Amino acid sequence: MQPLKEISVQFIKGVGPSKKKLFEKLGVETIEDLLYFFPRRYEDRTQMTPLSEVKPGDTLTVTGKVMARGARQSWYTRKHVYEMAVDDGRGRLFVVWFNQPYLDKYFSVGTPVVLYGRVELYKDRLQMVSPEYEIIDKEDDLNLNMGRIVPVYPLTKGFSQRTMRKVIYRCLENYLPELPDVLPVWVRNKYRLPNIRRSLAQIHFPETMAFQESAHRRVSFEEFFLFQISVIKRRMSIAGQQGFAHRIGLDFVSQFAGMFPFPLTGAQQRVIREIAGDMQRDYPMMRLLHGDVGSGKTVVALFGCLAAVANGAQAALMAPTEILARQHYQSILTFLSGGPFADVPVELVVSGLSKKSKEEVCRRIRAGESKIVVGTHALLSEDISFKKLTYVVIDEQHKFGVQQRALLSSKGASPDVLVMTATPIPRTLSLTLFGDLDVSVLDEMPKNRGRVITEVFLSENAPEVYRAVREKVLQGEQAYIVYPIVEESENLNLKAAQTMFERFQKHDFNGIQVGLVHGQMKRAQSDEVISRFKNNELRILVATSVLEVGIDVPNASIMVIEHAECFGLAQLHQLRGRVGRGRKNGCCYLIADPSTDDGRARLEAIRSSTDGFKIAEQDLLIRGPGQYFGRHQHGLNELKFANPATQIDILELARKEAQEMTHRDPDLADPRHIPLRDAVKERYPTYLSHIQAG
Ligand code: ADP
Ligand code: MG
């Protein structure tokens, strides 16, 4: 029998080439995909509420027959209106859809329908507007659509719920018996988890919602468990490597601390001690540094660089964009100048160097003449090799994949690695999710920082915001105005920034120097615009979200974010972090028309707090982990069903069990653990490359 992830959905009866295409749109190609294609909600159709008992305000499922239907045009809004009256023998309900003329094809008098939606009172009658509907006149030989708890799937146009249910039902019938369980029996017994076959059956066609819940727990447990095992294994492999033990004296530490024009914050001192401790050990450091925007991560990163140099070795710092790399390079030069480390050679490596100067740069690095090497992913190029690299910093880790991190590290012999991120991760989660990294937190802002006030405006009030910005800019301040970019419609959004830029020059900000940067500009061009903004030649910078990370312009104190509802919370917080970096107070204007409760909740969260950790926690709750952490990161996007924000109890269980199991059977070599080991390997290949090797 072939593995289920190699069998196409086309092997299921009723799935031909056209259905296969639709399935592809839904991300379903194989039998395995389909088994794990979960309903987005359920409807309890065991007992329908009679229409005579339905009340305004209820959101529910009802059923009945179409008594009358027809289309008209609203004389007021000019919209196409399709109306229907439904009767179940005990009461009557009216249904309306707007601008969906094709509906007429589906319904005739006498058609039995199921409707799901919110009931309201309109002109003294009960009405549902644009409900979800199903027609149930065709035969239902499998009894999948009525008289039970019914799954409702996320669908695409051309696919009906009825068809999907039938296909999934057949799929379960044919393939479920083949499905191996990767969780050992004793683990399932210990935590009272149903086996995988029963779980998937109960998730698709639950007998009771309690069964569905325990099935869902089981699937989440499995995901967390595999993830935790991979994390622990990776950690074990690091602890087994031979690294470089740096010697770090007290005089070095105090020389370092005395080098800056400001006292280090308590948090900076603490984290530097943590890093120094790691660097002195003879196995490699793997440390994650969280620090909110502006908490002073560069200073901390520099400590390890200089410690490596003091030990006769080299350090590398990799940033996700050229702007950031240059900025790090500049601030390091500034920090070093005039101090005890003034003659440490610092190198900048970005793409687009001329062949000759690139050769020269490579030579200096290879010869060990360059001590601190700052750069973009250009550092990963094969031409770059170090004489002796013992310390690596990776800034803004969520922009890099695990692979790229490993690639940079491989340029040294198990160097110490510090990964820095400005995306704060709730404390309750970081230990569990980043079990392969030690975690340090910069939880204290430098003193003498201004405060940032955040206000939210509807787009109709945007001109008010522009007036306020104009006034402040005329008083000497600088402002950012940011527009979102959505990948699919990049051009459309680009136009928004471009059009507004032109409008600003002519109207709102005429007489003021305004600049524009966006992602599709040539690098040299956008660098120039940004540096003119830094030099205060440009007073207002209109930008797409390329600003998101790291730009440091202390004089800029105003941040306007248009279509703020399109940004994630963490992104908004990052953007806002661009202002209030000097001593001055800053202000942040969010212009948004949120259309959902989530949208409103997010804006309120950002308005009412400037604590990155609190905001992160909110974000995680509102959006779930996948989107919050973005792609690539830590295999977290592998978590499809489990949500660490809402299922922390299951996560804890899975973590404990993973620890115990890997303690007793580190290589998962026990025959009962083989399916588990194979599943972990398959799902987290980068994590477990060392197991495959060994
Ligand atoms: P992050 O990368 O964490 O957002 P940076 O390292 O860019 O923060 O630091 C932000 C600004 O704060 C920089 O201009 C830096 O020189 C300054 N800074 C760093 N540490 C301190 C401190 N202890 N006191 C005052 N200013 C500091
Ligand atoms: Mg930074």
Which residue has a Cα nearest atom 17 of ligand 1? 296
State the DSSP code for 8: B
Relative to the alpha carbon of 612, which ligand is closest?
A: 1
**Ligand 1 neighbours by CB, cut-off 6 Å:** 262, 264-265, 268, 291, 293-299, 422, 446, 552, 581
Residue 471: both structure tokens together: 């006034």
Instruction: Give the other-Cβ count within 10 Å of 1's Cβ.
Output: 6
Which residue has a Cα nearest atom 25 of ligand 1? 446
pLDDT (0 to 100) of residue 129: 92
Residue whose CB lies within 8 A of the most ligand 1 atoms, among 552, 576, 579, for a mutation test: 552
Tell me the pLDDT tens digit for each residue of 346-397.
999 998 888 899 999 999 999 999 999 999 989 999 899 999 999 999 987 6
The DSSP H or E segment spanning 407 is helix 402-409
pLDDT (0 to 100) of residue 693: 32
pLDDT (0 to 100) of residue 574: 82
**Is pTM beyond 0.75 here?**
no
pLDDT (0 to 100) of residue 205: 97
Distance (angstroms) between ligand 2 centre and the Cα of 671 equals 48
The DSSP H or E segment spanning 534 is helix 523-534
Distance (angstroms) between ligand 1 centre and the Cα of 421 equals 14
Q: Which residues of the chain have pLDDT under 50?
A: 487-488, 490, 626-637, 687-694
pLDDT (0 to 100) of residue 691: 35
Which residue has a Cα nearest atom 19 of ligand 1? 296
Distance (angstroms) between ligand 1 centre and the Cα of 386 equals 29
Dist CA 646 CA 653 (whole Å)? 14
Which is it for strands 478-483 and 556-561: parallel, antiparallel or unpaired? Answer: parallel
Please name the residue that has the structure tokens 């027959």.
Answer: 65
Distance (angstroms) between ligand 1 centre and the Cα of 269 equals 13
Distance (angstroms) between ligand 2 centre and the Cα of 172 equals 51
Closest CA to 665 of 180, 67, 232: 232
pLDDT (0 to 100) of residue 694: 27
Closest CA to 594 of 610, 607, 581, 583: 607
Ranges for all domains in the chain classified under CATH 2.40.50.140 = 45-152
Long-range contacts of 669-673 (CB under 8 A, 24+ apart): 672/184, 672/185, 672/186, 673/184
Q: Which atom of ligand 1 is nearest to the CA of 292?
A: 3
Dist CA 615 CA 297 (whole Å)? 19
State the DSSP code for 554: T
Dist CA 609 CA 203 (whole Å)? 38
- Please identify, in words, the CATH class of the domain defined by 250-280+295-421: alpha beta
| Coil/strand/helix, residue 235 | helix
393 near 317, Cβ under 8 Å? Answer: yes
Distance (angstroms) between ligand 1 centre and the Cα of 549 equals 14
116 near 60, Cβ under 8 Å? Answer: yes
Relative to the alpha carbon of 296, which ligand is closest?
A: 1
233 φ/ψ angles, rounded to the nearest 5 degrees: -60, -40
109 near 58, Cβ under 8 Å? Answer: no
pLDDT (0 to 100) of residue 489: 53
Which residue has a Cα nearest atom 2 of ligand 1? 297
Residue whose CB lies within 8 A of the most ligand 1 atoms, among 256, 259, 262, for a mutation test: 262
User: Which CATH architecture describes the domain 452-609?
Assistant: 3-Layer(aba) Sandwich (3.40)
Distance (angstroms) between ligand 1 centre and the Cα of 645 equals 31
| Coil/strand/helix, residue 405 | helix
% the chain with pLDDT above 70 = 89
The DSSP H or E segment spanning 664 is helix 648-664
Burial of 103 (C-beta count, 10 Å sphere; 0-12/13-18/19+): middle
Tell me the pLDDT tens digit for each residue of 8-54.
999 998 899 999 999 999 989 999 999 999 998 999 888 889 999 99
Distance (angstroms) between ligand 1 centre and the Cα of 432 equals 29
Dist CA 378 CA 325 (whole Å)? 11
Residue whose CB lies within 8 A of the most ligand 1 atoms, among 299, 395, 399, 555, for a mutation test: 299
Residue 445: both structure tokens together: 């802002």
User: Which CATH architecture describes the domain 45-152?
Assistant: Beta Barrel (2.40)
Burial of 488 (C-beta count, 10 Å sphere; 0-12/13-18/19+): exposed
Closest CA to 221 of 652, 529, 682: 652
Relative to the alpha carbon of 290, which ligand is closest?
A: 1
Which residue type is seen at 300?
V
417 near 284, Cβ under 8 Å? Answer: yes
Ranges for all domains in the chain classified under CATH 3.40.50.300 = 250-280+295-421, 452-609
pLDDT (0 to 100) of residue 413: 81
Q: Which atom of ligand 1 is nearest to the CA of 554?
A: 14
Q: Pick left, alpha or beta for residue 312 (phi over 0 → left; psi -120 to 50 → alpha; otherwise beta).
A: left
Which is it for strands 112-122 and 59-73: parallel, antiparallel or unpaired? Answer: antiparallel
Dist CA 423 CA 477 (whole Å)? 28
